[in-house]
Structure 1
């Protein structure tokens, strides 16, 4: 049952058995007022033991609908956090891949964009030029007639003069004409692609049309 203090209107809840069939004296915990409470609600005062009750808690301001919305908001926030973490993780992974490619493929980067060599040197990662530690030797070119046309033969050797194994880069051959003007260029793949200190790789190439070629120039291209 619920009873109300006649002095301050504070409401209390208690079991029916707490009052009993004869009623009993009670005191308001809010204002201290005493009265006789009975099931019939008569207000006869008796100097018996006083029982003090505690106020009924005020009804919650939250509605059932607000309680149902809280989990949804929490789930939405958790989903947003997960998406943010996944996005940042993907961004960091891309940076790692770019950094690794820039570190391990810096020779290729410099070959494609020479100004990058200055950047690598500034950060303490100097890039060796193509053919570093290697030496061209016994290079020769020869023109000869084949099927009524002048063919150009180019051949030579590459010696590893360093103290470590070296990858042998691609060679670029440039055909020069009168006044050393470039006529055309092409690449040649030496074999084997890697040589130990003191070992030699060789190259040989024949171009079918060598008309107008006065000289050839061979450089390390680094494209391997």
Structure 2
């Protein structure tokens, strides 16, 4: 009897007594296919093989045999072609080293094919960008001990902002708000008031306010002395009266100082405080 490989349809002559009722696991010697051959499969395969052989032996009625130089008599008188049986296979085959090597070779070839397919895939734009970026020169390389250096640099920057705050405010007046918020005074003019006193005296039966004090130069260069502005404020801090005064000395050298004095006759009765400052642009606009 015969069995037929379900994969490559190769036929094998076998002994049905070796299969039993439950069938037997066999492997094709040609394509290595493994399947379970049962007794009913043997009968179907036996019926299929003669049918295939008979079909192959029947001549095609449409085929012209004379073209091949063979007549019907010659074909009938020719001896039948002997049927060569396929080599038998064994169900209990050993797994030898050659099979393992062959399977390993197939796995290696499959892996190589996968790698070749990946290499054959055209690189994306991001892959091209990644190849380009590392080739650029490194503009800044952080030192190994960067934290102490960064801390020292930050401390130096803060110290410079404090020491040269006057120059910075002159260059960028909007930074004065920042220094005021952190509690640092910025003397742009380089002049400071010292020992300002407000006293009251009576002259010809009238009350007179006397404001006097000291102006000190705090710069390293000669500084011109602007006009002085005196402002009287009420208990709510509202300006109710103001006047200007011009100093006799036009300017001060570094470290110099000068005295000033001004009088106000018949001061407002609702006045509670007096401010002394230098004349500025806002005073020009309010004049």
With CA pairs under 8 Å and 6+ residues apart, which has the higher RCO, 1 or 2? 1
Instruction: Kindly name which structure, 1 or 2, has the bigger radius of gyration based on alpha carbons.
Output: 2
TM interval, shorter chain, is 0.3 to 0.5
> Structure 2 length as normaliser, TM-score?
0.32
Q: Which has the higher strand share?
A: 1
> Structure 1 length as normaliser, TM-score?
0.40
